[in-house]
């Protein structure tokens, strides 16, 4: 692959995400809640069901993993998804693009590595259209309502990691949680002669803070253990300087294990708990697991993964569930200075009142070490 | 990895940039927490003040001359005066010889334009009366009663004319410019392209009296009668469809042989008079009539409409003091036009017709009048610097005797009100 191709690929990824950090709702379950939590995973990690995220320095989940980045490197992730939502007998197709993660890191001393970047914390893009008939002035008036939200809450991360020992790396990060959504609510009246369309627009700003710590410990030369913990404060929603909502953000923790049984095979598994239940209406605590593998040479591996668990928001007393499978490939080029990763993921989510959501996501990632 | 696969991946990624993020909502479980709420309220206190002003346009300035005769309700008559300027002597020799010879008046043809009529009218008669020339804007109905009693010069049954066969031969069309309908008395009717009826009366010298000292100044009045719906409008000077009189005369040539000539003279003044007379302006809100009255209505937009609502429909409610008397089937239009600045009677009116509220008023009906003013109220709710007042006026002022009167703010039980439907501000940001 030539330098021109690398630049084109990078530009393509940037064009994919440049209009907005996140533009399409990942799930219908997040509409009646704070949003849809983002995945802090690179394409490589996501192709393995997320199991490799704790060990992947370009997945903004765990800071300790960047301790092994010995040269300045940048990684970007792009995703395009096609989603089908079945509400009983009705089915709707949706599509959207996202730019869920960006990480730039490099050493600042012989031991310490600094990384900055952003990732989607909560995706808040959606559009809802409903039909109804209301009674006005003694007559039944059919109306169509459209409520749309376009934007996301982004996690801006500054992370510091260091390898304290040959077998131990530690990392810490502070997180600025910020973002905005452009929101509109439109009511169209079928009787447009007498009733004008009502349009309300606003911009909602979001603010919050968080901190995280993590560690990687090599039990043996082939077995690595990861643990992480993260606490986020509150998510404050402001409209024109006035706070309209203040919701708790979760305390999260998780762990993972990676085993390298051979030179061309890696297997990993990860679990994570997030205490979302305090985050307002329709919120639930979640547990998620993942299992994945990477096979083949380091320059062009094949990846497979499976994941499962719960979604943070959804109607009813129990959390919606999610199950997904994924696969992908990677290709190093320019002597290992760059890498393109491709992935394909299929998710199925089920929630109360018989709602099923199926999502196909095409993933494209680029990692460049200038 | 091949170059082809790289390009394919990029194409796939860029192709996915088209968004489809809107889906039918299954509420309330899968819809945002906010609700679009419609509120429907009649604001009786939004109209703070109102005033009526008269004499915006006099009867002689109207674009039509209403003629109606509905016993017990209205008797309206059109009157008009023709300019003279038909000299009693003309020259019959080439210049510079200024020798003149007397003319001999032969006849005259009066042309009237009926610009509005009820097609359901039966047995409509148009009657022409001779009046004395001294008409002006102060001429009253009572002053003309004698002339309208004993000076009839001609009459024609328009319904019968309309029912008569059209004369379409080429000779007729060449003379009249179009097909005509005529009766045994020689009245001629043409139907204009816009359905206007053009009526011609042939007068002899007793019907059209040429007085040499007046150079042919004459005045006529028009009444109507009908079995039903006896109401029409004649064209006026302001509508460029005034009545005209064409004089036909002869004069001797140098051999004493008669030479035929003609001279058409338009109206120099036209107006209408009616009975019963229009009552003077009082504490009610008067709109229309002749002279035309207007009512200025001042509105205060409540805070709730400015800050937290989107107006989707606004209707002005006006309660008439009573039915507008007049010919059954007649109507007129009331328009609510915003003023640019509130200067009382002389408030300049906005030319932004999008904001006008329009309502057709049918005579002899006392229903509450509702005028849709959504766009105007919406604009006022958004623009705090706008002058929030409008003028109620009649469209084509002084073209009808009909004047409607509404209860004003001085009658609390029936004061003007605004019926407003609005959408509350959506609660964004709340899950």
Say which of B32, B375, B426 has its CB closest to residue A128.
B32
pLDDT tens for residues B241-289?
999 999 999 999 988 899 999 999 999 999 999 999 999 999 999 999 9
Q: How far apart are CA B42 and CA B21, in angstroms?
A: 39
Same domain (yes/no): B78, B219: yes
Domain extent, residue B87, equals: 60-275
Among A146, A251, A126, A139, residue whose Cα is nearest residue A188? A146
Q: Phi and psi for B421 in degrees, rounded to 5? A: -110, 125
Question: What does the alpha-carbon distance between residue B109 and residue B247 come to, in Å, rounded to a whole number?
Answer: 7
Tell me the pLDDT tens digit for each residue of A37-80.
Answer: 999 999 999 999 999 999 999 999 999 999 999 899 999 999 99
Cβ–Cβ contact A5 with B under 8 A: yes
Give the other-Cβ count within 10 Å of B200's Cβ: 18
Given B223, B250, B275, which residue is the final one in a domain? B275
| Bridge partners for B424 per DSSP | B309
Does the beta-carbon distance from A129 to B30 stay under 8 Å?
A: no
Across the interface, do A15 and B16 touch by the CB < 8 Å criterion? no
Sequence-separated contacts (24+) of A127-135 with Cβ below 8 Å: A127/A25, A127/B21, A127/B22, A127/B23, A128/A31, A128/B22, A128/B23, A128/B24, A128/B25, A128/B27, A128/B30, A128/B31, A128/B32, A129/B22, A129/B23, A129/B24, A129/B25, A130/B24, A130/B25, A130/B27, A130/B31, A131/B24, A134/B38
Checking if the pLDDT of A1 tops 50, the result is no
Q: B140-168, pLDDT tens digit by residue?
A: 999 999 999 988 999 999 999 999 999 99
DSSP of B59-79, one letter per residue?
GGGSSEEEEEEETTTEEEEEE
- Are B212 and B351 members of one domain? no
Q: Which residues of B touch A80 (CB under 8 A)?
A: 12-13, 15-17
Least confident of A286-290, A322-326, B277-281: B277-281
Say whether residue B372 is in contact with chain A using an 8 A CB cutoff.
yes
**Beta bridge partner(s), residue B67:** B232
A318 touches chain B (CB under 8 A): no
Contact yes or no for B423 and A96 at CB 8 A? no
Between the alpha carbon of residue A212 and those of residues A216, A224, A233, B120, the distances in Å are: 14, 20, 12, 88
Q: Are residues B46 and B104 in the same domain?
A: no
- Is the same domain home to B127 and B256? yes
User: What's the whole-number average pLDDT of chain B?
Assistant: 91
pLDDT digits (tens, 9 = 90+) for A154-173: 999 999 999 999 999 999 99
* B1 domain residue, yes or no: no
Complex ipTM > 0.90: no
Q: Are residues B321 and B287 in the same domain?
A: yes
B44 versus B228: the higher-pLDDT residue is B44
What's the token pair of residue A97? 């693009």
> How many Cα atoms occupy the beta-carbon half-sphere of B44 within 13 Å?
9
Mean pLDDT lowest among A113-127, B34-48, B85-99, B380-394:
B85-99
Distance CA A347, CA A358 (A): 6
The distance in angstroms from the start CA to the end CA of chain A is: 15
Q: What are phi and psi of A29, to 5 degrees?
A: -70, -20
Q: For chain B, say whether A187 makes contact (Cβ under 8 Å).
A: yes
User: Count of CB contacts below 8 A, A vs B?
Assistant: 197
- Which residues fall within 8 angstroms of residue B397, CB to CB, at 6 or more apart? B56, B57, B61, B62, B288, B292
Residue A149's beta-bridge partner residues?
A126, A183
3-state secondary structure of A293: strand
> 């915003």: which residue's tokens?
B338
Q: Which of B232, B255, B275 is the endpoint of a domain?
A: B275
What value, to the nearest 5°, has the Cα angle with vertex B344 and ends B296 and B356?
Answer: 40
Tell me, yes or no, if A3 comes closer than 8 A to chain B by beta carbon.
no
Domain over A3-368 is classified CATH 2.40.160.60: yes
Six-digit token pair at A102? 């960006």
The answer to whether A190 faces chain B, any CB pair under 8 Å, is: no
In chain A, which among 111-140 make CB contacts under 8 A with chain B? 125-131, 134, 136-137
| Residue B210 φ/ψ, nearest 5 degrees | -95, 115
Residue B230 and residue B195 in one domain: yes
Whole-Å CA distances, A284 to A34, A245, A281, B65: 11, 18, 9, 79
Looking at the domain assignment, is residue B5 inside a domain?
Answer: no
Interface of A with B in 16-55 (CB under 8 A): 16, 19, 23-25, 28-29, 31-34
Return the domain boundaries, chain A.
Answer: 3-368
Residue B281 to residue B233: CA distance in whole angstroms: 25
> For residue A51, which of A286, A300, A326, A253 has the smallest C-alpha distance?
A326
Q: Is the same domain home to B263 and B293?
A: no
B184 and B68 in a common domain: yes
- The position carrying tokens 């009908």 is B226
Closest by Cα among B304, B310, B305, B286 to B296: B286
Q: B38 to chain A nearest CA, in Å?
A: 8
Contact B38, A136 (CB under 8 A): yes
| Beta-bridge partners for A182 | A150, A203
Q: Pick the residue from chain A with its C-alpha nearest to B375.
A: A196
Answer whether B163 touches A (CB < 8 Å). Answer: no
Residues B196 and B237 in one domain: yes
Candidates A225, A212, A232; CA nearest to A161 is: A212
In a domain, B253, yes or no: yes
The interface residues of chain A toward chain B in range 205-234, judged by CB-CB distance below 8 A, are none
Does B317 map to a domain?
yes
Backbone angles phi, psi at B337, to 5 degrees: -115, 130
- What is the mean predicted confidence (pLDDT) over B359-385? 94
Q: Tell me, what's the pLDDT at A272?
A: 97
Q: What is the least distance, in Å, from the CA of A46 to any CA of chain B? A: 17
Residue B109 in any domain: the answer is yes
Whole-angstrom distance, CA of residue B361 vs CA of residue A112: 86
For chain B, the domain total comes to: 2
Tell me: do B325 and B407 sit in the same domain. yes
Do residues B224 and B339 share a domain? no
Confidence of residue B307 (pLDDT cuts 50, 70, 90): confident
B8 touches chain A (CB under 8 A): no
Handedness of CA B299, B300, B304, B307 (dihedral sign): positive
Q: Is residue B7 part of a domain?
A: no
CB contact under 8 A, B13 and A282: no
Do residue B96 and residue B233 come from a single domain?
yes
Spell out the SS3 assignment of B189-238.
EEECCCCCEEEEEEECCCCCCCCHHHCCCEEEEEEEECCECCEEEEECCC
What does the pLDDT read at residue B368? 96
């Amino acid at each position: 692959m030539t330098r021109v191709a690398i630049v084109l690929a990078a530009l393509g990824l940037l064009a994919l995400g440049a209009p907005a950090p996140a533009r399409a709702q990942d799930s219908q379950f997040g509409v009646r809640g704070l949003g849809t939590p983002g995945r802090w995973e690179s394409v490589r990690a996501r192709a393995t069901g997320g199991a490799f995220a704790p060990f992947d320095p370009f997945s903004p989940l765990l800071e300790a993993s960047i301790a092994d980045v010995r040269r300045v490197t940048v990684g970007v992730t792009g995703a395009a998804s096609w989603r089908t939502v079945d509400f009983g007998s009705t089915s709707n197709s949706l599509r959207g693009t996202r730019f869920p993660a960006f990480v730039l890191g490099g050493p600042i001393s012989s031991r310490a590595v600094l990384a900055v970047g952003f990732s989607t914390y909560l995706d808040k893009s959606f559009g809802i259209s409903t039909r109804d008939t209301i009674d006005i002035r003694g007559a039944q008036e059919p109306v169509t309502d459209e409520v749309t939200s376009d934007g996301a809450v982004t996690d801006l991360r500054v992370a510091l990691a260091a390898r304290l020992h040959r077998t131990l790396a530690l990392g810490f990060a502070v997180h600025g949680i910020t973002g905005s959504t452009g929101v509109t609510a439109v009511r169209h009246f079928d009787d447009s002669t007498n009733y004008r369309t009502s349009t309300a627009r606003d911009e909602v700003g979001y603010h919050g803070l968080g901190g995280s710590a993590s560690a990687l410990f090599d039990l043996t030369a082939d077995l690595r253990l990861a643990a992480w913990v993260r606490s986020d404060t509150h998510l404050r929603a402001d409209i024109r300087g006035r706070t309209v909502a203040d919701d708790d953000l979760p305390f999260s923790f998780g762990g993972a294990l990676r085993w390298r049984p051979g030179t061309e095979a890696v297997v990993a598994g990860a679990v994570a708990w997030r205490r979302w239940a305090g985050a307002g209406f329709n919120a639930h605590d979640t547990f998620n697991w993942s299992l994945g593998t990477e096979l083949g040479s380091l320059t062009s591996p094949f990846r497979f993964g499976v994941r499962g668990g719960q979604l943070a928001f959804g109607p009813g007393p129990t959390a919606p569930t999610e199950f997904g499978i994924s696969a992908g490939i990677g290709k190093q080029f320019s002597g290992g200075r760059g890498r393109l990763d491709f992935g394909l993921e299929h998710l199925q989510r089920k929630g109360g009142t018989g709602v099923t959501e199926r999502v196909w996501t095409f993933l494209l990632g680029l990692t460049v070490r200038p | 990895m091949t170059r082809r696969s790289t390009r394919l991946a990029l194409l796939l990624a860029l192709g996915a940039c088209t968004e489809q993020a809107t889906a039918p909502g299954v509420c309330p479980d899968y819809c945002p927490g906010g609700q679009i709420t419609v509120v429907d309220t009649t604001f009786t206190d939004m109209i703070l003040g109102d005033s009526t002003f008269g004499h915006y346009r006099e009867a002689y300035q109207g674009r039509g001359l209403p003629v109606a005769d509905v016993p017990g309700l209205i008797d309206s008559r059109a009157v008009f005066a023709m300019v003279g300027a038909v000299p009693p002597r003309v020259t019959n020799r080439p210049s510079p010889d200024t020798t003149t010879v007397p003319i001999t008046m032969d006849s005259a043809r009066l042309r009237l334009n009926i610009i509005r009529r009820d097609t359901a009218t039966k047995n409509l008669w148009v009657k022409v009366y001779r009046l004395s020339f001294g008409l002006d804007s102060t001429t009253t109905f009572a002053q003309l009663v004698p002339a309208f009693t004993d000076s009839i010069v001609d009459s024609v049954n328009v319904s019968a004319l309309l029912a008569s066969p059209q004369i379409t031969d080429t000779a007729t069309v060449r003379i009249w410019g179009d097909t005509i309908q005529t009766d045994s008395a020689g009245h001629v009717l043409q139907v204009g392209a816009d359905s206007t009826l053009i009526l011609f009366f042939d007068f002899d010298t007793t019907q059209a009296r040429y007085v040499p000292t007046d150079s042919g100044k004459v005045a006529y009045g028009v009444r109507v009668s009908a079995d039903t719906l006896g109401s029409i409008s004649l064209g006026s000077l302001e509508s460029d469809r005034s009545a005209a009189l064409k004089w036909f005369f002869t004069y001797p040539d140098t051999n004493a042989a008669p030479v035929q000539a003609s001279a058409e003279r338009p109206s120099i003044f036209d107006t209408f008079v009616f009975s019963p007379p229009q009552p003077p302006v009082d504490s009610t809100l008067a709109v229309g009539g002749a002279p035309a009255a207007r009512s200025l209505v001042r509105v205060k937009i409540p805070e709730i409409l400015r800050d937290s609502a989107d107006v989707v429909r606004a209707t002005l409610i006006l309660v008439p003091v009573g039915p507008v008397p007049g010919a059954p089937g007649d109507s007129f239009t009331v328009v609510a036009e915003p003023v640019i600045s509130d200067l009382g009677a002389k408030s300049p009116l906005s030319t932004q017709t999008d904001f006008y509220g329009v309502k057709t008023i049918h005579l002899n009906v006392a229903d509450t009048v509702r005028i849709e003013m959504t766009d105007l109220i919406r604009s006022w709710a958004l623009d705090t610097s706008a002058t929030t007042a409008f003028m109620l006026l009649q469209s084509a002022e002084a073209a009808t005797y009909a004047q409607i009167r509404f209860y004003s703010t001085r009658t609390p039980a029936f004061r003007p009100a605004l019926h407003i439907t609005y959408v509350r501000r959506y609660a964004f940001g709340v899950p």
